Every structure is written in C-alpha cells, then in structure tokens.
Amino acid sequence: MIVIRNARILGGEPRDILIANGLISEIGAGLGGDTVIEADGLIALPGLVDLHTHLREPGREDAETVETGTRAAAMGGFTAVHAMANTSPVADTAGVVEQVWRRGQEAGHCDVHPVGAVTSGLEGKHLAELGAMADSQARVRVFSDDGKCVSDAVLMRRALEYVKAFDGVVAQHAQEPRLTEGAQLNEGEVSGRLGLTGWPAVAEEAIIARDCLLAAHVGSRLHVCHVSTAGSVEIIRWAKSKGWNVTAEVTPHHLLLTDSCAEASPVGPYNPIYKVNPPLRTQEDVTALREALADGTIDCVATDHAPHPVEDKETEWAAAAMGMIGLETALSVVQEAMVETGLLDWAGVADRMSVRPARIGRLAGQGLPLEPGSPANITLYDPAVRTPVDPTAMVSRSRNTPYEGLTLPGRVVATLLRGRPTVLDGKLV
Amino acid sequence: MKHLISAGDLSRDEALLILDTAEELARVSERSIKKLPTLRGRTVVNLFFEDSTRTRISFEAAAKRLSADVINFSAKGSSVSKGESLKDTALTLEAMGADAVVIRHGASGAPHRLANWVRGSVLNAGDGTHEHPTQALLDAFSMRQRLGRLDGLKVAIVGDILHSRVARSNVLLLSTLGAEVTLVAPPTLLPVSVERWPCQVSYDLDAVLPKADVVMMLRVQLERMNAAYFPSAREYSRRYGLDRDRFAKLHDDAIVMHPGPMNRGMEISAEVADSPRSTIVEQVGNGVTVRMAALYLLIGGENQ
Amino acid sequence: MLEGPDIHRALTRIAHEILERTRGASDVVLLGIPTRGATLAHRLAERVAQFEGVKVPVGSIDITMYRDDLRLGPARPLGKTDVPAGGVDGKTVVLVDDVLFSGRTVRAALDALNDLGRPKAVQLATLVDRGHRELPIRADYVGKNLPTAKSEKVKVLLSEIDGRDAVELLRNENEGAGK
C-alpha cells in the first residue's frame, strides 16, 4: 500500500491518495500506508498519454529504443505512449507491432501502444493489413503513415472506411507532397530572407480540409496529427461545428516556438535543431494554436518526440533530419505556453494531455479520473521550480531538444504506472 | 568584422570601408607588380562544394595578390563526395590553421554553420539561395565607379529573385547604401513575403526601365521552366528579357549589369551585353579588388 | 614644441637643401607618406617651385599594406597612393614623413616603393626626428631634431588637416604608441 500525502489533485486542495493493488483505493486526509510519497506542493495529474511518439525501434536504435524512449516518457510524466509506425521495418504487419508492444512490456516504464501504418511500407500505394494489426496482441487502434501523408484521396477514403470495423482512427500527417517538395521552413518572411525553400501553410490546410470532408462523407473518425497553422485550426473548428468526428493534436514545440528560431536563437542561425515536420510557424499561428487547445478545437497535446543522433543535426540545414525530442519537456512547455498564460488550468492540462488522448487512442486503462477505483496512473508535478533546459541531463538516447538555452517551469517528481513508481524524486526507479 | 556571411550584417560604414579599400587596391591591379605582402604567412582556404570556377578564381587571385597561401578544397572527388560531413571538413581545415575559409555551398546557411566549427573568418562565396555578399559588394563598387554615387541610385534587379542569392545580397547592401531597389520578376519567381523587403516590387519591366539608373539582369535557369515557374523560355524572354528595344528605353547614362554567367538571347541580348554601357566585363576585374579588400579587412589585422 | 613659423622655416630650409643636394631637383619626385607626410610633400613642392621655378612631381605612397605591425591591431583603413604620371623609375625619390621615430614606417615605405618601380636613389625628409631608431635608417633632411622619451608621443598638426600648424609633445602611458 502506497500513500501519496498532500497532493493537489488537478491543482485543488491537498489530499492523500491511497493506492492498493494498482488501483486508487481511497482519497482523503490523514491516510496511512506502507510506503509514503510526500507530495507537499505537488500537483497530481492522471498519467500523461502521448498519441505521437517515435521510439525508433526497430531500425534506428542509435537514435532511440523502446527502453530509452519509454524511460524518457516516464521522466516526462507519461504512463502511455503511442509508438509511431515509421520504423525499419515499418510497423505495417501484426508481427512488427507485436514486437514493439512486447518490447514495451519488457521495458515496463510505460505502456507502449504501437501505431500501425496505413499503407504498406508507408508507400502510399496499398493499405497495410489494418485488421490484422487491430486483432493482434498489440490491439492497434491508431493508424498513421506519420512522416508521410496519405495523399491519395481514394486510399485515404478507403482507410477511413476500413478502420470503422474495429473502431480505429486514421491519424493523418497532413502534408500535400507536391506543395512541399524540398521544403525546409515555413513559407513566409523568414524563409524568404534565409533562402530556405518555403513550406506553405496551405500544404497542411488543403489536406486537412479534404480529409475532414472525406471523414464526414464516410462517417468515420479522423485524427489530425501535429496541427501547426491558424488556418488548420479554422478548418477543424468548422468540421467540429458540423458535428463531424474529427480530433486533432498539437505539439509542445508548435505551442512555444516560431520560424524565427531559424534566424535568431541561442544556438545560432540556421541551426537545424529547429528543423521539424511540420515546420515551426509564425507567432500568429502559435497564438491560434494555444487558443484552439484552450477552447478544445484541438483535443490534445502530442509530443511528436522525434529523436535523431547528433550527426543528423550537426549539419547544414537542408541536410539535417527533421524532428525534435519532446517527452521530457512536454509538461513544462505546456505549463509555460498554456498555464502561465492563463489559457488552461491543471484540470484542463489533465484533459488535454491524458483524458482526451486516451479516449482518441481507445485506451481503456488510461486517462481516467483520479478517484477510487481508477488505475493508479499518476503524475506528480512540481510547478514552482524553474530550471534551464540541459540536454545532457535527458534520458532519451538523443539530445535534439530545441529548448537548450531556455529556462522552463516545472518538474515531474514522480510517475506511477498502475501503482508502481517508474519515477521517484525526479529519478528513474 | 569577423566574418562576411550576409550583406545584411554590414553597417553603412563597414560597407563603405570595403568599397573605399577596394578603390585603393584597384590601383595595385594596374601596376606591373600586382602583389602586396600584407597577408604573408596567412592561409586562405577556398572550400567549394559547388562548381564555380569564376568565383573561385576570383577569390584565389585576391588572396594571392595579398601574398596569402591559398589552399583550394574542391568537394568533387574529395572525401566530401564520399560522405564526409561539413563539420568534419571544417575540423580538417581547422587543423590546417586556416585564417579564412571561403565557402561556396549549395545549402543556404552552410557558412553560418561552418562559422560554429572554425576559428578563422568565414567568407560566404554563395550559399544556396541565400546570399552572395562579395558579389553584391562588387556590384555596388562597379555602380559607384560608373555613376559616381550609390545614394539615391535607382537599381532594377530583374529575373529569378526567388532563387537568387545575388538579389538577396544586393537588396540588403544597396538599401544600406541608400540606393532604391526595384525587383522585377514574374510573380512565381518572387518570394511570398517580398513586400517586407527593403525595396519595391514590379511585374512590369517596361514600366521600370525608363526610371532606372542601373539594370541588373539575373541568370534564369532553364530547370525553373521545367518546374512551371514560367511557361517557356520564349515567353520569359519576351516579357523579362533585356533586348535592343527595351535597352532603348533606358536613359543615356544608365548601365546594364549581369553577375554572369549569361544566357545570351534569354535574359539579355548579345547586343546589350556587349554594349559600352554594360559593366559585365569590368565586374569580373572589380571582383578581385573587392575580394582583396574583404580579405584584408577580415584577416589583415590582429587574430580575433 | 614647434609653432607655425618654426615649421614654415624648417620646410623652407629642407626645400633649399633638396635643391642643393639634388642639383636643382630636376629628376626629383616627392612622395609623402599619408596622411601628414603627403601634405608636407605638397608644401615642399610649392617651395621648390617658388625658389627655382622647378615643377617637382609630387604624390603619396601609402604603406599600410607593408606595415610589420598589422597583426597588432584591427585592420586599418588604407591611405592614398598617388604616383605622379612619370612614375619613379630612374628618379630621385624623396620620401616625406612628419615624424621619424623607429624607422619602421620608412622601412615599409621602401618596400612599397620597391613594388612601384626602381628609382635611381631614395632620400628621406622628415619634419621631426625624435630618435629611438629600431632600424638602420637615417633622414637626409630633418626639420628639427627633438629629443624625446620613448613613452612620449609627438603630434604634428598641419593647417590643411588640423586647422593650425604645430608640433606637440604628449606624455603617453602607452609605451611605443607614438611615431
């Protein structure tokens, strides 16, 4: 029996949380247990759920593994992550998704839910065996060709229709390929000045608009990955107003950083640490994304944690890999962008980082309210500290954080997965 | 000045110092002994990842006239083409003790990255579609030489602005020096936010020509046509080429420039290119003196 | 240390000496070392013309690119090099500087001159010789010998540039900063 003492559940008054057999058994005052976790001043959130994580295994174990990636997840307060399908081999068969799922079980730092590829080999030509992945031990419900867009309208329609059979969802990486050939940075003032090939907002928005219409037409669920533009927000808001079954995520970095980082930053101009897909956009986009997350137009925060080895980032901009790590800093960035600005309270944070992503991913045991009977998936978070981001202190195998040089608020003190601490005192257990 | 990477980094005074220094150095090119001992014992590395014999030779001549040791490092056939990274190449140069690295690279921003990894001065000899500051300096030098001033000069830059490092550097430098720049191009060859640049924009060459003191024609690459930036070479030439009829619209003192290499008959007719009001040949000679000035001012003084 | 009339007299004397030593200055070219040496060269040329009606070619020779102390400071702006049309080949070049100190400037000027051509002879005129030579160099024409401490700085002011003529001696903590 573990008791967490004086935790502020969703930022409320201090309470004790008693945990037995992996479940929350009681919430009250003056509770006793064999093991005590002092949580004075700490906020208790339901364990965070990430809909969008790149664990890189199999294939790029030099960048990340299931083991190291889930450690990073636990350190960031996550109790479940969705492992993206763009591995090598691609997670497009029951065999590969089960392997990833099993590796997650062995690692034990958090639940690992593999995302299945929509098309074989992410090639955008033939549907992968979606049903076989859904029926596998991994029980895949989220399908995505993330990194590549399912740009063929017929193929996208078929995928949306097909996953209805097992209550799946297609998570679209919205990027019109022809409009983004060779694209490097958000098309705008900064890309024009830097002479980097522009990545227009419309390339994202056109696909989102099309997919919303397709999802409505076939009556299926669509999830939009990493929404990055104000225009995308408008389209999703419109689709939701129609009652269509569309959900969307935003990454922490799109809530905080802009394309101006490529021009001026603590780490110098043209530093590809800021190169990411979709690209960092403008301040207007950041403002719109924050508002959309606050009003629920965007359902959740997803990290798009994308580890890359040093040599893939210490290059000229055009040659660098796209992506940034984000598991260990996600909650801090959300506090900075959403809580400190008054846009979300801690209940809102719990909703956008745990409840809704669990619901979109159809995870039964995650994202549940912190009340007796719920699985004890709990994140204890100290919002009062502010610390400079130190890439070398991170547990991810990669170091490509865009926040070096920034001071961010908050620190995950403990993470519990079904009552078992995976992180205590800010350290891995 | 530690590096010369962007024309936008130059203040008015710094830009004028380079031009004034070049003006003095131009006399050296007229003497029988064209060499100065100034950079004796200094090493200048020409690091060229793109073929550009003209620019490389110009920098090489500039460095040699200042008595620097020149190492030419061409990416072709070297370890770079075997996959060595820019950073590893930089560390190699660092070990050679390069005082200045002149870099030409296909990727925008490569000189900025290089500057993180070498102690010496970095001179941008053209990076992707970003900048080519010494070209802008030699263009400004040539304009001042011909027309006697830069302040208030009306300069039209015509052609593929979107992909032109020459245009970017010229807009930044010329606006710093008080010239009024108008970019002329079909809308497809202008960056989306060009209205925020310190210059005017026009789609109509014929309307701009009568007011221009300088017309700078940019090279149009035919692969742009294949990427549907414009329908055909013929249509481009008809709308944006500088032929005899358009040339006649210029006022009598106006000059015609081209950074080279030219597509004669495409963006500029042979007749115009070879006219006495074309500065195209003297631009080449001015390139050497301006690059001498830049090298001297960057590495002629104390080690920074 | 020197006032306007002193400078005037010194230059007049040097002009006479040049005429005398070069037998009428018929093949003389005066090359001043910028900035003040160039001004002095022009003044000397005027006097020579006054005294004998000889029009001596006069110009300037910038030594910046030949200095041996370039690496001791930031890159300096260049002065003007202006060689008279007849060139220097076969001529008697009289280098003109304001202050002769270590001799390093003159050494640089000799190198610069060497790249311009082959004079028959090179002579040196200076308004002030303040001693402390570091090279085997001496002046052929001296306006005034001024004993100084090495730490002091000698400043020559000329009306064309500074609005008045004077030579001033400044105490300077900065060892060796003067000319």
Q: Which chains have at least 3 CB atom pairs separated by less than 8 Å from chain A?
A: B
User: What is the pLDDT at residue B281?
Assistant: 87
% of chain A at pLDDT higher than 90? 99
Give the Cβ contact number of residue C174 at 10 Å.
8
pLDDT at A81 over 80: yes
Whether C and A touch, i.e. at least 3 CB pairs below 8 A, reads as no
d(CA A424, CA B4): 51
Residue in C closest to B34 by C-alpha: C115
pLDDT at C138 over 50: yes
Instruction: Choose, out of B50, B84, B104, B113, the residue to mutate when testing the contact with A (most A CBs < 10 Å).
Output: B113
Amino acid at A343: L
Whether B and C touch, i.e. at least 3 CB pairs below 8 A, reads as yes
User: What is the pLDDT at residue B152?
Assistant: 97
The residues on B that touch C, with CB distances below 8 Å, are: 17, 20-21, 24-25, 27, 31, 33, 35-38, 66, 296-303
For residue C94, give how far its alpha carbon lies from the nearest alpha carbon of chain B (Å). 21
From the list C81, C91, C88, C97, the residue with the least C-alpha distance to C141 is C97
CA angle A156, A162, A164 (to 5 degrees): 115
Residue in C closest to B41 by C-alpha: C71
pLDDT, tens digit, for every residue of C91-119?
999 999 999 999 999 999 999 999 999 99
User: What is the pLDDT at residue B85?
Assistant: 87
User: What's the whole-number mean pLDDT along residues B215-243?
Assistant: 90
The per-residue DSSP string of chain C comes to -EEHHHHHHHHHHHHHHHHHHTTTTTTEEEEEPTTHHHHHHHHHHHHHHHHH-----EEE---GGG-S-GGGSSPPPP---B--TT-STTSEEEEEEEEESSSHHHHHHHHHHHHH---SEEEEEEEEE----SSS---SEEEEE----TT-EEEEE-HHHHSS-EEEEE--SSTT---
User: What's the whole-number mean pLDDT along residues B78-99?
Assistant: 81
CB contact under 8 A, B168 and A270: no
Max distance between CA atoms of chain B, in angstroms, equals 56
* Strand A185-186 with A198-199, pairing: parallel
The residues on C that touch B, with CB distances below 8 Å, are: 62, 65-66, 70-81, 111, 115-116
What end-to-end distance do the CA atoms of chain C give, in Å?
A: 16
For residue A273, give how far its alpha carbon lies from the nearest alpha carbon of chain B (Å). 12
Instruction: Establish whether B279 is a catalytic residue.
Output: no
Comparing CB atoms, the residue among A189, A270, A311 nearest residue B109 is A270
Residue in B closest to A310 by C-alpha: B87
Question: Among A92, A111, A304, A312, which one carries the catalytic annotation?
Answer: A304
% of chain B at pLDDT higher than 90? 80
CB contact under 8 A, C76 and B35: no
B194 at interface of A, judged by CB pairs closer than 8 A: yes
For residue B202, give how far its alpha carbon lies from the nearest alpha carbon of chain A (Å). 17
pLDDT, tens digit, for every residue of A226-267?
999 999 999 999 999 999 999 999 999 999 999 999 999 999
User: What is the pLDDT at residue B83?
Assistant: 64
Size of interface A-B (CB pairs under 8 A): 72
Task: Enumerate the residues of chain B whose CB falls inside 8 A of the CB of residue A189.
Answer: 193, 196
User: What is the pLDDT at residue B261?
Assistant: 87
CB contact under 8 A, A316 and B131: no
For residue B59, give how far its alpha carbon lies from the nearest alpha carbon of chain A (Å). 23
**What values do phi and psi take at A240, rounded to 5?**
-65, -35
Instruction: Establish whether A304 is a catalytic residue.
Output: yes
Give the Cβ contact number of residue A406 at 10 Å.
17
**Highest-scoring range by mean pLDDT, A357-361, B93-97, C3-7:** A357-361
Residue in B closest to C65 by C-alpha: B38
Residue in B closest to A263 by C-alpha: B109
Task: Enumerate the residues of chain A whose CB falls inside 8 A of the CB of residue B109.
Answer: 194-196, 269-270, 316-318
Question: Among B55, B134, B176, B279, which one carries the catalytic annotation?
Answer: B55
Residue B222 binned pLDDT confidence (cut-offs 50, 70, 90):
confident
The average confidence (pLDDT) of chain A is 97
Which residues of chain B does CATH 3.40.50.1370 include? Answer: 7-131+284-299, 133-282
As beta bridge partners, residue B215 has: B156, B256
Task: Enumerate the residues of chain B whose CB falls inside 8 A of the CB of residue A188.
Answer: 192-193
pLDDT, tens digit, for every residue of B254-286?
999 999 889 998 999 999 999 999 998 888 889
Chain B 115-174, residues with CB within 8 Å of chain A CB atoms: 115-116, 127-131, 165, 168
Indicate the class that CATH gives domain B7-131+284-299: alpha beta
B133-282: in CATH 3.90.100.10: no
pLDDT, tens digit, for every residue of A130-142?
999 999 999 999 9
**What values do phi and psi take at C174, rounded to 5?**
-75, 95
CB contact under 8 A, A317 and B108: yes
Residue C174 binned pLDDT confidence (cut-offs 50, 70, 90):
low
Which tokens in the block code for residue C27? 């093949």
State ipTM.
Answer: 0.93
For residue B200, give how far its alpha carbon lies from the nearest alpha carbon of chain A (Å). 15
Indicate the class that CATH gives domain A47-368: alpha beta
From the list A320, A338, A311, the residue with the least C-alpha distance to A399 is A311
B262 at interface of A, judged by CB pairs closer than 8 A: no
Task: Enumerate the residues of chain A whose CB falls inside 8 A of the CB of residue B197.
Answer: 192-193
User: What's the whole-number mean pLDDT along residues B172-187?
Assistant: 98
Task: Enumerate the residues of chain C whose CB falls inside 8 A of the CB of residue B295.
Answer: none
Instruction: Establish whether B104 is a catalytic residue.
Output: yes
Sequence ranges of the domains in chain A: 47-368
For residue B140, give how far its alpha carbon lies from the nearest alpha carbon of chain A (Å). 20
pLDDT, tens digit, for every residue of A264-322?
999 999 999 999 999 999 999 999 999 999 999 999 999 999 999 999 999 999 999 99
Residues 6+ apart with CB under 8 A from C145: C128, C129, C131
The per-residue DSSP string of A318-380 comes to GGSPP-B--TTTHHHHHIIIIITTTS--HHHHHIIIIIHHHHHTT-TTSS--SSTTSB--EEE
% of chain A at pLDDT higher than 70? 100
3-class DSSP assignment, residue B10? coil
CB contact under 8 A, B109 and A194: yes
> What is C2-70+78-149's CATH number?
3.40.50.2020
The per-residue DSSP string of A157-183 comes to HHHHHHGGGGT-EEEE----TGGGTT-
pLDDT at C179 over 70: no
CB contact under 8 A, B302 and C74: yes
Residue A350 binned pLDDT confidence (cut-offs 50, 70, 90):
very high
pLDDT, tens digit, for every residue of B23-32?
999 988 888 8
% of chain C at pLDDT higher than 90? 86
B110 at interface of A, judged by CB pairs closer than 8 A: yes
Sequence ranges of the domains in chain C: 2-70+78-149
User: What is the pLDDT at residue C175?
Assistant: 47
pLDDT at C171 over 90: no
Instruction: Establish whether B176 is a catalytic residue.
Output: no
User: What is the pLDDT at residue C176?
Assistant: 44
